[in-house]
Structure 1
């Protein structure tokens, strides 16, 4: 089959799901939608009462609603997902000169949050199935470089402390946290989960379903404009640890001690708290979360039907024992040669964008960015192979005709 015919087949399958498009009226990757919610009424309440900044009933209610939908004991809302990661890592003691183990296939914010603390990202390969950090690759790397000492776990090659493990739930598909937790526990590593894309994603563990972000000590969420729900910006920390949650609240509000009028602060901290206006938007959409998740599942099923029998590609499916939120439905080009897969992907990107269908390739692997080119790393064979093959499809729930019915 020629490349031209293959690309035509791919594009026709996408059009079966997304319908008509044009450069003037494009179909974007994932856009916000507030239809069927109380968003305007809740935001208007902020404007009418004057509670528009970092205090107010909607911040508290947003955190309560996050706990309700994830089964977290505590949620702390902050200004964005990068801030949430930086704060979570700081709470677990990550600091200047430390190394944090994380996958190379992630949005750059994962590594940036580490670097903002003066720490160093240490890259570990992924597994092909979930696209998340691979437990076996992690074991192999730690066996090679890690040394246990009375002062903690150290990288014998760099002399730096290995301070934390930072897995990522890519495109909303849960990573193998049971496997990663076993490795982390064996080596005494605390775990922070980057669940920025995984609100509404669950994985079976120890006989029960656990929401992404609640396997390790702390997990983080993002509510950027392209996420399942959005607060414009916004993020949150999830934890079952009351002490960590209290520390997060204190450090995200400039470490100000409670007092009716005095400005007493007891340590260097940040001004990270989510404004009430943004939280009101979040509450309105959390009330609609189950409908959104069901629509996303239906959309993923329609893509699966459209691509059934189309050669040369496969959809990334939710891992066994998981329930994914299907944030971004994604294609993998299956040509044996990754260069051929990458060429097919590029051809599809060209014809789709010309038709107003705004597909997106996966991020560049972190070690291929200039600021992380020298980051310590193990073999990244799977990540480099998959980065050449992956493509995100338009995934807004409003692509379903019945969404607004």
Structure 2
């Protein structure tokens, strides 16, 4: 393991502590922030919010983008746009960050967990198809869970660490079963599947700009869609459902104070200018890691899946078992290199332990073996 630590410190050209992923501000960030401050429009109204939404939509190939305060808020609203309501059910993967299940729970809906693929670490279309065929039926154009008698309204796959799941197959299955596809693309800005950007395959998609993401505004998120009606609804809901008026405060439904501040958007406009360079840099780091770990027994580097172009947001390796994983985590963190395990499975958390699940053997295998290693853009 000492060989691994020495290689990574040499790669990052430092003997200091190496974080897992730190942001890089090497462009127009300070310039745009100062301009935003000078304008005095630092809250949710300002030119940078509009500019960012326009440029982001163009970047990922969607018709509309609606900026939010964080990725969880973006996913929450995306599920509302998909008509998910209290007591509905939403299929997702157990191997994901808690925000995926939190957003489902905010509505009062309940997650159902199906397995992931070993190569993508994302929701498996085979597991999804098998679950639906065994447990569900179509009644009045709705997907009904034969066990709970509830409507399965949406499916939320997540592109793990920026590696795309087999999203086209998932979309086709969802279409067949009248289930809305809502993409959790929080980690996959700059990633493509069959040359189409992640987050743009479903009815709506949600991205995150948390402090550790490939580009960041400290927080921040965005909803993307090609549906103009949904885009207008998203902007309305995220702006406290306020009816436009020169001076009166009239709100026509329960809304949310989810609009991204102009100050954050200024930072993101500058960060978006650097995205292509960041992705290229991360791909170069992935090549170095891949070459190196081929020389290490019992550790496999996770490469981008077939038909994908990944942003390699977080670089990851698979160890041979949970014991080796824990030894790896302890040694690296004690020797100045931050590493972390993949998430605990959602169905193993107290809040979701009673949720319906398929066989989750792949998710469990990965939970016990996957570790993230330093992934920052190297200056």
TM class, shorter-length:
over 0.9
Paired position in structure 2 for 1:338? none
Distance 1:243 1:313 in 2: 48
Distance 2:169 2:302 in 1: 20
Q: Which range is displaced more, 261-270 or 51-60?
A: 261-270
1:365-386 C-alpha deviation (Å, 9 max, x unpaired): 1011111111111111110011
Paired position in structure 2 for 1:28? 19
Find 2:358's aligned residue among 349, 357, 378: 378
Paired position in structure 1 for 2:8? 14
Paired position in structure 2 for 1:272? 258
1:39-88 C-alpha deviation (Å, 9 max, x unpaired): 11111111111000001000001111101211111000000010001100
Paired position in structure 1 for 2:144? 154
Residue 16 (structure 1) shift: 4.3
Residue 105 (structure 1) shift: 0.4
Paired position in structure 2 for 1:262? 248
Find 1:142's aligned residue among 107, 125, 132: 132
1:290-330 C-alpha deviation (Å, 9 max, x unpaired): 11111111111111122122110111111111110000010
Distance 1:391 1:165 in 2: 26
Distance 1:397 1:332 in 2: 22
Find 1:285's aligned residue among 259, 271, 280: 271
Distance 1:368 1:192 in 2: 23
Find 1:300's aligned residue among 281, 286, 289: 286
What TM-score, normalized to structure 1? 0.92
Alpha-carbon contact 2:115-2:124 (below 8 Å) kept: yes
Residue 348 (structure 1) shift: 1.1
Alpha-carbon contact 2:141-2:178 (below 8 Å) kept: no
Paired position in structure 1 for 2:180? 190
Paired position in structure 2 for 1:219? 205
Residue 19 (structure 1) shift: 4.1
Does 2:75 align with 1:85? Answer: yes
Distance 1:16 1:356 in 2: 13
Alpha-carbon contact 1:39-1:284 (below 8 Å) kept: yes
Find 1:330's aligned residue among 316, 322, 325: 316
Paired position in structure 2 for 1:365? 345
Paired position in structure 1 for 2:97? 107
Residue 151 (structure 1) shift: 6.1
Distance 2:251 2:372 in 1: 45
Distance 2:10 2:326 in 1: 21
Distance 1:219 1:231 in 2: 19
Distance 1:244 1:381 in 2: 37
Aligned residues: 379
Distance 2:8 2:325 in 1: 14
Distance 1:321 1:142 in 2: 25
Residue 13 (structure 1) shift: 4.2
Q: Which runs of 5+ in 2 are unaligned?
A: none
1:102-145 C-alpha deviation (Å, 9 max, x unpaired): 00000000000000000001001001010111111111111111
Residue 17 (structure 1) shift: 2.5
Find 1:353's aligned residue among 328, 333, 338: 333
Alpha-carbon contact 1:14-1:306 (below 8 Å) kept: no
Paired position in structure 2 for 1:171? 161
Distance 1:26 1:76 in 2: 37
Distance 1:386 1:291 in 2: 30
Paired position in structure 2 for 1:4? none
The structure 1 segments of at least 4 consecutive aligned residues displaced by more than 2 Å after TM superposition are 7-21
Secondary structure in 1 matching 2:180: coil
1:337-382 C-alpha deviation (Å, 9 max, x unpaired): xxxx111111111111111100011000101111111111111111
Alpha-carbon contact 2:215-2:271 (below 8 Å) kept: yes
Distance 1:318 1:89 in 2: 28
Paired position in structure 2 for 1:60? 50
Secondary structure in 2 matching 1:122: strand
Distance 2:140 2:292 in 1: 57
What TM-score, normalized to structure 2? 0.98
1:179-215 C-alpha deviation (Å, 9 max, x unpaired): 11121111111100000000000111xxxx2100000
Does 2:375 align with 1:395? Answer: yes
